Structures are given as C-alpha cells and as structure tokens.
Amino acid sequence: MNKIYWTLFIHHEWQLYMATTENGLCYVGSQGKPYEEMEVWLAKRFPKYELVEEEEEEALSPYKNEIKEYLNGTRREFTVPVELKGTAFQLSIWDSLSKIPYGEKKSYSEIANIIQNPAAVRAVGAAIGANPVLITIPCHRVVAKNGALTGYRGGLEMKERLLTLENGDL
C-alpha cells in the first residue's frame, strides 16, 4: 500500500497539518484545524493510501523548510513538487493560481478570464475552495472583484494574515 506521510507543522503561532506522497506535497491544511480535517480530505483523494505520521523529519523536511521561509518573509515562490488530484478544470485553476505573483491579487472573474471561460466565475470559486495545498498554491491571492476578502478554506483570518505577510507587514 502506498503511504502518505503527515506532520503537524508548527512555526511561531502557525499550526498546519501537512502531508506528502512520494511524488510531492499533497495537502496543506488550515490554521489550527484538527487532524480529522486532513484525514477526511486525504481519504477522499487518496483512498488506497495509508496515513503515516512522520517521525524521522525526512519526508516533509523540504516542504516544511519552504513554508517556514515563506512565513518568515524570505521566500516568494515554492519549488517543491506537489501531487494534485482533481478534475481537469480544477487543475487548470490551480495552475493559474500558481502564476499569481507574490504580493499581487486577482479576482475570481480575472481567473475565469485567464482560463478563457469568463462565465465560469462560480465554478472558479468552487475549484479554488478545493485547493488541497494552501499557501503553496496561493488561493489566498484571489479576492472579490471589489477587492473584498471572500471565502477561503483556511478562513478569512488566515487569508488576511497571508496577504498582510506578502505586503511586508509582518
């Protein structure tokens, strides 16, 4: 049986569950959410995998290092591999999100236009909400057309903190 290694990443006030397959990061959770959220999320997408708590600090080390550097304000882009499971539409949205530069924001309608489907704004929002790797695929950079902060799997407080961090207001 394939394995997914997981850990609770703790850095200053941040507490996030993270998980990786042998192919790459497959889950970054919401600030302060319980283990069960990760367990349910992964079971739906990786049903034939066994969850194994990382004890040796090996499997997740590169991922934890990059997220720690990001949260410290010293990393702007992620280079670690990710393993994403989703529909072709979701994958196209997540790819678009990955191209939003650090410190910039896009609206849901701008993302719909980028994928050349301007009528798909609601579907874009649903795909963004299904993003399995928060922070590394920067869905926090997507806001309402008027600039307001709207829906975020990690909660609006986490979204605001990430945007504040990117604007240099640590």
Ordered domains of the chain (ranges, CATH):
2-71 (3.30.160), 88-166 (1.10.10.10)
**Mean pLDDT, range 29-34, rounded to an integer:** 90
Tell me the two tokens of residue 128.
């963004």
pLDDT of residue 170: 46
Q: What's the pLDDT tens digit per position in 100-127?
A: 999 999 999 999 999 999 999 999 999 9
- Look over the chain and give the mean of its residue pLDDT values, rounded to a whole number: 92
Q: What residues are annotated to the active site?
A: 139
**Mean pLDDT, range 56-84, rounded to an integer:** 92
pLDDT of residue 92: 95
Question: Which residue pairs from 165-170 have beta carbons closer than 8 angstroms and sit at least 24 positions apart in sequence?
Answer: 165/71, 165/73, 166/102, 166/103, 166/141, 167/103, 168/73, 168/103, 170/73
Task: Assess whether pLDDT exceeds 90 at residue 132.
Answer: yes
Q: Which residues pair with 49 in a beta bridge?
A: 2
Of 89, 92, 6, the C-alpha closest to 46 is 6
Q: Please give the full DSSP string across 123-155, using - where no structure is assigned.
A: HHHHHHHT-SBTTTS-GGGEE-TTS-----TT-
Q: What share of the chain is helix, strand, coil (3-state, %, to 5)?
A: 35, 20, 45
pLDDT-derived band of residue 54, with 50, 70 and 90 as boundaries? confident
Q: What is the distance between the alpha carbons of residues 85 and 160, in angstroms, rounded to a whole number? A: 27
